[in-house]
């Protein structure tokens, strides 16, 4: 898939890190599938809801691994993920138990995805991309000489 050419991820929410954008696209796709399934039935289709939750857990782990590999401080971001996963888990359990409205859950997840990408993921992506630029310059790509390889 070409960069910026996503089916579900709004272009304004693309962060420029392919692993993150691909995962965000997958999450928005799962959410749309869940919305469609809910519209066609009375309740929450549990396998699809659990699949979305597991995809989200895996996505949080992916972002953390990218941050750690790049040496980016992830403490605040990790806490946002923890709170979000906890909130969604509680809402899912409430909907599954018949104590909450499925469309409130869907609106909450939708809202959270967009807000979190703007509030946290764009910053992480920017740090990762700056690190990548530095690595490429160090490697002498883009026409920059590698200072470590220059004769003294």
Q: Which stretch binds Fe ion (CB under 5 A): 48-56, 63-71, 87-95, 130-138?
A: 63-71
Q: Nearer to Fe ion by C-beta: 39 or 69?
A: 69
Q: Is 21 in the site for Fe ion (CB under 5 A)?
A: no
Q: Which stretch binds Fe ion (CB under 5 A): 36-44, 57-65, 85-93, 139-147?
A: 57-65
Cβ 28 to Fe ion shortest distance, Å: 11
Q: Which stretch binds Fe ion (CB under 5 A): 49-57, 89-97, 98-106, 118-126?
A: 118-126
> Closest residue (Cβ) to Fe ion?
121
State the DSSP H helix or E strand holding residue 114, giving kind and residue range, or none if neither: helix 102-116
Query: Pick from 63, 72, 106, 109: which binds Fe ion (CB under 5 A)?
Result: 63
What are the helix (H) ranges across 40-74?
A: 46-70
Q: Is 25 in the site for Fe ion (CB under 5 A)?
A: no
The residue length of the chain stands at 152
Give the long-range contacts of residues 50-54, CB within 8 A, separation 24 or more.
50/92, 52/27, 52/109, 53/85, 53/88, 53/89, 53/92
Q: Are 13 and 114 in contact (CB under 8 A)?
A: yes
Distance from C-alpha of 141 to C-alpha of 144, rounded to nearest angstrom:
6
Cβ 125 to Fe ion shortest distance, Å: 9
Query: Pick from 121, 125, 127, 128: which binds Fe ion (CB under 5 A)?
Result: 121
**How remote is the C-alpha of 89 from its chain's centroid?**
17
Q: Are 77 and 120 in contact (CB under 8 A)?
A: yes
Count of residues that interact with Fe ion, criterion CB under 5 A? 3
Enumerate binding residues for Fe ion (CB under 5 A).
63, 120-121
């Amino acid at each position: 898939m070409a960069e910026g050419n996503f089916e579900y991820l709004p272009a304004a929410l693309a962060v420029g890190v392919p692993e993150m954008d691909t995962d965000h696209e997958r999450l928005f796709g799962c959410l749309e599938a869940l919305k469609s399934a809910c519209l066609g039935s009375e309740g929450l289709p549990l396998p699809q809801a659990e699949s979305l939750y597991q995809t989200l857990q895996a996505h949080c782990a992916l972002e953390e691994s990218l941050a750690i590999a790049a040496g980016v401080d992830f403490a605040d971001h990790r806490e946002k993920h923890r709170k979000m996963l906890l909130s969604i888990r509680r809402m899912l359990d409430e909907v599954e138990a018949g104590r909450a409205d499925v469309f409130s859950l869907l609106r909450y997840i939708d809202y959270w995805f967009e807000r979190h990408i703007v509030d946290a993921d764009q910053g992480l992506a920017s740090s990762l991309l700056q690190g990548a630029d530095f690595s490429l310059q160090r490697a002498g790509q883009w026409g920059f000489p590698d200072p470590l390889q220059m004769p003294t």
